[in-house]
C-alpha cells in the first residue's frame, strides 16, 4: 500500500511531499499524463531511478505469438501487446560533471503535484551532489488536450551555492529496458528492442526518430525541439544515433541566473505513411506547438479543463479523501479517452503496460457511461473504434460458425488476444455490452449521424450473433448455453442471467434501429423475417430463477454448486486466481466480481424490488471482489436497497483502489474502469441515476457521513445539475430546453433557471448482508 503520509489530501490536486523509492512504479502511474492519444508515465525527468518507463500511443502495438500446450480449432494465433515507444521525457542533468541522481548525494526536498485544474504535473527538487553542490530543479510537464500529438516540459535548474557548470542532456530514446512483475496475468508481457530504426537526425535544437515494429507493420515518429533561456555563453550541440537523438545545453548557472529550457514533443504513428510523410507530420506538429509557445500551451490546457469541469465536476462534502478521489478519477478518465479519435481505450488507459495494453468489455460498461454524460465526443470516438474493427469481429464469428459479429474479449487492433478461450472466446456478452453503450450514447446525444454512420450496423451485427448462438428448447424458450459472463470464476455456463438480459436489450435495440434506419438495414440484408425474429428472441429469452431459494442463479445450476470454503481460505490466498486452479473455482459458488448484481444495475428494469433485495443479500456472501470492477457495482445496489453504510464503504474502497494500491498492481497502470466506477458509485449510487431506454430517472440517497453531493451531466443538449443532501434533492437545468425526469418514481419537469426541490424518502431499514470471511469492504470513513 502506498504510504499516505507522502500525500496530502487536496480537493484539486494529488500532492506528493516526499519520495518513496519503493513506491516509485505506483506513483509513476498516479502522476501519468495523457490525452487519449499520447500517454507519458510520471517518470522522473532525469530517467533514473524508475519503476517502469513508459510512453504510449493509443492503438500502437506489436504482434506476438500466443503459446499453447495443445492448440485447437479457433484458438487465436497471435496476440497484440502495447509498446513503450520512443521516450521523449528524458532530461538528464549534470552538475559539474556529476549526474543528478537522487540515489546519490542528498535529497533535501522533493515535491510533485498533479494539478487537476491546470492539467499539468509540477515537480520541485532540492538536491546536494556527493561533493556538496546544491541545486534546485523546477519542472512542469503537460500532455495537451487541444493538440493530440503534443507534449511539453519546462525544466529549470538553479545552483544555490554559487556559479556551477551545468549540462542538460535532452534526449529521444527508443528501445529502453523495462521491468515487469512475473507471475501475475494482470501484468504485462514486456520485451526489449521491439522497434527497428528507420530514420534518425538531430540539428540545432531539434531531433527526430522514426522506428517501425518488427511484425505488426506500424511506424512511429517522435520529434523534439527546444527554447532555451540561460546565462551568457550557453552552448547547444546536437547528435543522433540509431535509437537516440540528443541535444546538449551547457552553461555556467548561478543563484538568480538559472538555466531553463522548454522541450516540445510531438508523436505520430501510422500503418501506411512513409518515413518522410511521418517525419513531416511530427515536425509540423512540433512547429505549431513551438509557435504557440509554452504559455500558450498552458493557457489552452487550462481553458479546455475549465470547460470540462464546468460540465462534469462532482462535489462531495463530508469526506475529503473521497472528494479528491472523485476528481482524480474524472481527470484520468478524460485523459484515457479525450483525444482517442477512433482508437481503443485500454484497461489501463495510457498510464502503464498492464494487461498488455488491451481493451476489454469494461470500456463500454464502465468508462463510456461516464464519457457519454460528461465528454460525449470521446464516447462517440470510442464506439467509432469498435465500428472500425467490425470486419475483424465478422471474421471471428465466421471462424466460430456464427453469424453477425463476435467482438473480442481482449484486443488492441480488433483481433482476439486471449489464449484462454473459456474466459475469452466464450465471453460473448461483450457484444451486448457494446450494443448497450451504443444505445446509451444515442439516447443521451440524439446523434442521428452516428446512428447512420456506425450505430445501426453495430446494433444489427451484434444482434445477429445471438440468433446463431442460442436455440429454442422444448418449452419454446430461447436459451444461450455455454458462455462466460462477467464473473471470471465461472465459465462455460448455460444461460448466464447478465448475458441473456443484455442480449435481450441488444435484440430489441437492433430491431428498433432497423426500423429507424431502413436504408442501413437493407444494405445489411435485414428483412422483415430477421427483424421479427429479433423481437421474438427477446420476448422468449430464458432467465433462470431458483424457486426454492427465491433468487436468480447467476446461471443455470449455479445455486446448486458447493459453496467455496471461505473460512478455510486465508487472506494471503487472495486473489484466488493466483492460488487455486480455475477448475476448482468454476464448480463452486464463489464470485470474483459482481455478475448477477451487475445485471441488476444494467437491467434494473427486469427485476422487482423484492428480487433485487434477495439477490443482493445472496450474492454478497459469495463475492470476494478479486476484480477492481466489483466494489462500485455493489456500492450502487447497496445504496438503492437502503444499505447506506455498506454503500459508503464500497464507494470508498473503489475510489481509493489506485491511490492506496489496494490490489497491489497499480505499478502496471491505473484501473480506468474502476476509476469510472467512482463516478458511477457517486452518480448512480448516491444520485440514484438510471437511464433505461432513454428515460432519465433519479432516486437519490446520501450515505452518511456525507452531507452533500452535487454533480453535473449532459443529456440531449441539456446541462443538468443535481444536488443531494440527506433531506432533499435539487434539480437545476443550467442550459437547454425543458427536461422530463423522475424523482423516486414521481414524474417531474425541470425548466431552465428554476431549481426544482423534492424531499428524499427515508431508506428502508434492512439487516446488513454479510460478505465472505475476511472479504468485508475496507472503505470505512477515516479517523476524525
Q: What is the mean pLDDT of residues 311-340?
A: 97
Whether 488 is catalytic is yes
Q: What is the mean pLDDT of residues 122-139?
A: 96
Q: What is the mean pLDDT of residues 575-590?
A: 95
For the ranges 277-281, 340-344, 677-681, which has the lowest average pLDDT? 340-344
Q: How far apart are CA 335 and CA 347, in angstroms?
A: 13
- pLDDT tier, 465 (very low <50, low <70, confident <90, very high otherwise): very high
Q: Which residues pair with 202 in a beta bridge?
A: 207
State residue 409's pLDDT score: 96
State residue 491's pLDDT score: 95
**Of 176, 300, 416, 488, which one is the catalytic site residue?**
488
Residue 146 grid cell = 487541444
Computed over every residue of the chain, the mean pLDDT equals 95
Residue 781 clears pLDDT 80, i.e. is over it = no
pLDDT digits (tens, 9 = 90+) for 87-102: 999 999 999 989 999 9
Residue 754 clears pLDDT 90, i.e. is over it = no
State residue 724's pLDDT score: 98
State residue 183's pLDDT score: 56
The secondary structure of residue 272, as a DSSP letter, is: S
State residue 291's pLDDT score: 96
State residue 181's pLDDT score: 53
Backbone angles phi, psi at 51, to 5 degrees: -95, -65
DSSP class per residue in 59-122 = T-EEEEEPP-SS--TT--SEEEEE----B---EEEEETTEE--TTSSEEEEEEEEEETTTTEEE
State residue 65's pLDDT score: 87
Residue 1 clears pLDDT 50, i.e. is over it = no
Q: What is the mean pLDDT of residues 109-126?
A: 98
State residue 70's pLDDT score: 81
Residue 456 clears pLDDT 70, i.e. is over it = yes
Residue 180 clears pLDDT 90, i.e. is over it = no
State residue 294's pLDDT score: 98
Residue 225 clears pLDDT 90, i.e. is over it = yes
Peptide bond just before 519 cis, omega within 30 deg: no
Residue 192 clears pLDDT 90, i.e. is over it = no
Q: What is the mean pLDDT of residues 356-378?
A: 97
- pLDDT tier, 749 (very low <50, low <70, confident <90, very high otherwise): very high
State residue 692's pLDDT score: 85
Helix-helix angle 497-516:528-540, to 10 degrees = 150
State residue 783's pLDDT score: 53
Q: Are strands 219-229 and 206-213 parallel, antiparallel or unpaired?
A: antiparallel
State residue 116's pLDDT score: 98
Residue 188 clears pLDDT 70, i.e. is over it = no
Helix-helix angle 376-388:456-469, to 10 degrees = 50
Q: What is the mean pLDDT of residues 724-750?
A: 96
State residue 186's pLDDT score: 59
pTM to 2 decimal places:
0.96
Residue 766 clears pLDDT 80, i.e. is over it = yes
pLDDT digits (tens, 9 = 90+) for 334-359: 999 999 988 999 999 999 999 999 99
More confident residue, 157 or 185: 157
Q: What is the mean pLDDT of residues 371-397?
A: 98
State residue 421's pLDDT score: 87
More confident residue, 377 or 232: 377
Amino acid at each position: 500500500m502506498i504510504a499516505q503520509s507522502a500525500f496530502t489530501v487536496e480537493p484539486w490536486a494529488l500532492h506528493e511531499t516526499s519520495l518513496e523509492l519503493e513506491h516509485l512504479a505506483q506513483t509513476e502511474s498516479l502522476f501519468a499524463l495523457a490525452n487519449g492519444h499520447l500517454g507519458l508515465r510520471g517518470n522522473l525527468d532525469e530517467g533514473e531511478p524508475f519503476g517502469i518507463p513508459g510512453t504510449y500511443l493509443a492503438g500502437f502495438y506489436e504482434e506476438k505469438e500466443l503459446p499453447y500446450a495443445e492448440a485447437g480449432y479457433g484458438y487465436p494465433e497471435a496476440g497484440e501487446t502495447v509498446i513503450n515507444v520512443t521516450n521523449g521525457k528524458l532530461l538528464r542533468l549534470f552538475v559539474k560533471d556529476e549526474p543528478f541522481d537522487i540515489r546519490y548525494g542528498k535529497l533535501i526536498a522533493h515535491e510533485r503535484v498533479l494539478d487537476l485544474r491546470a492539467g499539468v504535473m509540477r515537480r520541485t527538487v532540492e538536491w546536494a551532489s556527493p561533493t556538496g553542490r546544491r541545486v534546485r530543479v523546477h519542472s512542469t510537464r503537460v500532455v495537451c488536450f487541444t493538440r493530440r500529438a503534443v507534449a511539453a516540459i519546462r525544466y529549470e535548474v538553479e545552483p544555490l551555492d554559487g556559479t556551477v557548470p551545468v549540462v542538460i542532456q535532452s534526449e529521444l530514446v527508443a528501445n529502453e529496458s523495462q521491468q515487469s512483475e512475473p507471475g501475475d496475468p494482470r501484468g504485462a508481457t514486456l520485451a526489449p528492442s521491439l522497434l527497428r530504426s528507420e530514420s534518425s537526425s538531430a540539428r540545432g535544437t531539434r531531433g527526430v526518430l522514426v522506428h517501425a515494429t518488427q511484425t505488426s507493420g506500424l511506424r512511429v515518429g517522435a520529434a523534439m525541439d527546444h527554447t532555451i533561456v540561460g546565462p551568457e555563453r550557453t552552448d547547444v550541440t546536437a547528435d543522433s544515433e540509431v535509437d537516440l537523438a540528443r541535444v546538449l545545453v551547457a552553461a555556467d548557472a548561478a543563484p538568480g541566473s538559472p538555466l531553463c529550457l522548454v522541450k516540445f514533443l510531438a508523436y505520430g504513428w501510422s500503418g501506411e505513411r512513409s518515413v518522410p510523410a511521418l517525419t513531416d507530420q511530427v515536425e509540423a506538429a512540433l512547429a505549431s506547438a513551438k509557435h504557440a509557445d509554452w504559455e500558450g500551451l498552458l493557457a489552452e490546457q487550462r481553458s479546455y479543463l475549465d470547460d470540462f469541469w464546468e460540465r462534469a465536476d462532482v462535489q462531495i462534502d463530508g469526506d475529503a479523501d473521497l472528494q479528491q478521489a472523485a476528481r482524480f478519477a474524472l481527470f484520468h478518465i478524460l485523459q484515457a479517452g479525450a483525444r482517442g479519435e477512433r482508437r481503443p481505450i485500454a484497461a489501463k488507459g495510457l498510464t502503464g503496460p498492464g494487461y498488455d495494453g488491451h481493451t476489454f468489455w469494461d470500456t463500454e460498461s464502465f468508462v463510456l457511461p461516464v464519457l457519454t454524460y460528461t465528454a460525449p465526443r470521446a464516447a462517440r470516438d470510442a464506439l467509432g473504434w469498435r465500428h472500425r474493427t467490425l470486419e475483424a469481429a465478422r471474421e471471428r464469428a465466421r471462424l466460430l460458425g456464427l453469424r453477425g459479429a463476435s467482438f473480442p474479449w481482449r484486443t488492441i487492433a480488433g483481433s482476439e488476444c486471449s489464449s484462454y478461450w473459456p474466459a475469452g472466446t466464450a465471453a460473448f456478452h461483450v457484444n451486448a455490452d457494446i450494443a448497450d453503450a451504443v444505445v446509451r450514447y444515442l439516447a443521451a446525444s440524439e446523434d442521428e449521424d452516428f446512428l447512420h454512420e456506425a450505430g445501426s450496423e453495430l446494433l444489427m451485427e451484434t444482434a445477429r450473433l445471438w440468433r446463431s448462438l442460442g436455440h429454442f428448447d422444448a418449452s419454446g424458450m430461447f436459451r444461450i448455453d455455454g458462455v462466460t459472463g462477467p464473473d471470471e470464476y465461472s465459465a462455460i455456463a448455460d444461460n448466464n442471467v447478465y448475458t441473456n438480459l443484455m442480449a435481450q436489450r441488444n435484440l430489441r435495440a437492433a430491431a428498433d434501429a432497423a426500423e429507424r434506419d431502413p436504408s442501413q438495414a437493407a444494405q445489411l440484408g435485414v428483412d422483415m423475417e430477421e427483424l421479427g425474429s429479433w423481437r421474438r428472441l427477446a420476448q422468449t429469452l430464458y432467465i433462470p430463477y431458483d424457486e426454492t431459494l427465491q433468487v436468480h442463479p447467476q446461471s443455470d445450476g449455479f445455486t446448486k454448486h458447493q459453496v467455496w470454503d471461505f473460512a478455510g481460505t486465508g487472506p494471503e490466498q487472495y486473489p484466488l486466481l493466483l492460488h487455486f486452479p480455475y477448475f476448482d473455482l468454476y464448480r463452486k459458488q464463489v464470485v470474483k466480481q459482481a455478475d448477477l448484481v451487475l445485471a441488476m444495475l444494467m437491467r434494473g428494469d427486469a427485476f422487482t424490488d423484492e428480487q433485487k433485495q434477495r439477490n443482493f443479500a445472496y450474492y454478497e456472501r459469495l463475492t470476494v471482489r478479486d476484480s477492481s470492477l466489483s466494489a462500485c457495482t455493489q456500492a450502487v445496489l447497496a445504496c438503492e436497497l437502503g444499505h447506506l453504510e455498506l454503500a459508503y464503504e464500497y464507494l470508498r474502497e473503489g475510489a481509493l483502489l489506485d491511490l492506496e494500491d489496494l490490489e497491489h498492481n497499480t505499478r502496471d497502470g491505473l484501473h480506468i474502469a474502476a476509476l469510472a466506477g467512482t463516478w458511477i458509485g457517486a452518480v448512480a449510487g448516491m444520485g440514484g441515476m438510471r437511464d433505461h431506454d432513454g428515460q432519465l430517472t433519479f432516486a437519490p440517497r446520501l450515505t452518511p457521513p456525507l452531507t452533500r453531493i452535487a454533480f453535473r451531466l449532459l443529456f440531449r443538449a441539456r446541462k443538468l445539475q443535481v444536488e443531494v443532501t440527506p433531506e432533499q434533492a435539487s434539480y437545476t437545468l443550467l442550459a437547454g430546453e425543458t427536461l422530463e425526469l423522475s424523482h423516486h418514481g414521481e414524474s417531474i419537469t425541470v425548466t431552465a433557471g428554476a431549481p426544482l426541490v423534492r424531499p428524499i424518502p427515508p431508506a428502508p431499514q434492512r439487516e446488513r448482508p454479510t460478505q465472505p470471511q475476511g472479504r468485508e469492504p475496507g472503505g470505512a470513513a477515516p479517523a476524525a
